[in-house]
């Protein structure tokens, strides 16, 4: 299998195909996400399915393995993911999450991979992806790990005007809103419950966290800003921008 024949996807490969890819020194990119509520209109698998779809598109342009996805992430926060009070969200404590990533990295190294990309979609995982990468790297100096904790491309003023003509809400509030809804509409429109889409906004937006959870920092629907401007056309543009960034990283780090 090659980039011309279609993307190499770890979960669909045999052990011999995986071994051959590792022996060829191909990079493997791990989609890291979460199982988290995404409003009334999107599925809870959003944070690991969308990065996998983006990596698959990138793997059509460059020969690398789309690695095994990580479907659980660090606990959801009201101001960026809606919060732990929503049913459907299944989160890991930080130590568990980091241990899982550390074991995955160690196993991939054992299987022969020397070039790994950690591609994180879930905002709350930020900071906890680098630590296990650092620990495994210390034990295996020949292993190269590229940590991408913020997958988004640069949102220039021109791009912002396309995505948010009524004003940019900020990436922290872009949860189950225009970006993720548009990507789903482009990659799998059947996953979007369009009849349940509605504008929403938190009663309170601050740059700090509060415990016990202050539900005013979230919303009743779980969408932290309006998804109403979403479309498949916007999803196609977003996919192109995201893939462009992945390809640039692969080219820069692995030639």
Please indicate, yes or no, if residue 48 is contained in any of the structural domains. yes
Which domain CATH number covers 33? Answer: 3.40.50.10310
pLDDT in tens, 209-235: 999 999 999 999 999 999 999 999 999
Number of structural domains (the chain) is: 1
pTM recorded for the entire structure = 0.95
Please indicate, yes or no, if residue 111 is contained in any of the structural domains. yes
| Residue matched to tokens 């071994």 | 19
CB of 62 closer than 8 Å to CB of 99: no
Distance (Å, rounded) from C-alpha 182 to C-alpha 23? 38
Q: Which residues contact 204 (CB under 8 A, 6 or more apart)?
A: 214, 216, 217
- Domain span holding position 23: 8-254
Give the pLDDT score at 6. 86
- Residue 159 has, within 13 A of its CA and on its CB side, a CA count of 14
Please indicate, yes or no, if residue 235 is contained in any of the structural domains. yes
Distance (Å, rounded) from C-alpha 11 to C-alpha 203? 42
- Decide if pLDDT at 208 tops 50: yes
Structure tokens, 106? 């160690």
Closest by Cα among 4, 2, 47, 8 to 29: 8
Please indicate, yes or no, if residue 3 is contained in any of the structural domains. no
pLDDT in tens, 145-158: 999 999 999 999 99
pLDDT in tens, 133-192: 999 999 999 999 999 999 999 999 999 999 999 999 999 899 999 999 999 999 999 999
Catalytic residues: 36, 38, 47, 122, 124, 175, 180
Please indicate, yes or no, if residue 164 is contained in any of the structural domains. yes
Please indicate, yes or no, if residue 248 is contained in any of the structural domains. yes
CB of 50 closer than 8 Å to CB of 122: no
Task: Look at residue 234 and give its three-state secondary structure.
Answer: helix
Task: Look at residue 28 and give its three-state secondary structure.
Answer: strand
């Amino acid at each position: 299998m090659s980039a011309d024949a279609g993307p190499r996807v770890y979960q669909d490969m045999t052990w011999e195909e995986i071994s051959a890819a590792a022996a060829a020194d191909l990079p493997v990119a791990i989609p890291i996400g979460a199982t988290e509520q995404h409003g009334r209109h999107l599925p809870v698998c959003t944070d690991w399915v969308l990065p996998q779809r983006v990596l698959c598109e990138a793997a059509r342009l460059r020969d690398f393995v789309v690695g095994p996805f990580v479907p659980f992430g660090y606990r959801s926060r009201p101001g960026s993911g809606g919060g732990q009070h929503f049913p459907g969200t299944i989160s890991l404590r930080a130590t568990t999450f980091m241990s899982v990533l550390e074991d995955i990295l160690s196993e991939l190294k054992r299987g022969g991979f020397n070039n790994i990309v950690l591609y994180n979609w879930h905002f709350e995982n930020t900071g906890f992806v680098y630590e296990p990468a650092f620990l495994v790297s210390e034990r295996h100096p020949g292993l190269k790990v590229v940590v991408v904790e913020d997958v988004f491309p640069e949102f220039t003023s021109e791009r912002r005007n396309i995505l948010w003509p009524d004003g940019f809400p900020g990436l922290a509030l872009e949860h189950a809103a225009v970006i993720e809804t548009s990507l789903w509409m482009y990659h799998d429109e059947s996953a979007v419950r369009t009849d349940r889409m509605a504008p929403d906004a938190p009663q309170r937006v601050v740059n700090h966290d509060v415990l016990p959870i202050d539900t005013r920092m979230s919303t009743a629907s779980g969408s932290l800003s309006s998804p109403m401007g979403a479309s498949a056309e916007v999803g196609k543009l977003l996919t192109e921008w995201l893939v462009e960034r992945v390809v640039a990283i692969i080219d820069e780090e692995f030639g």
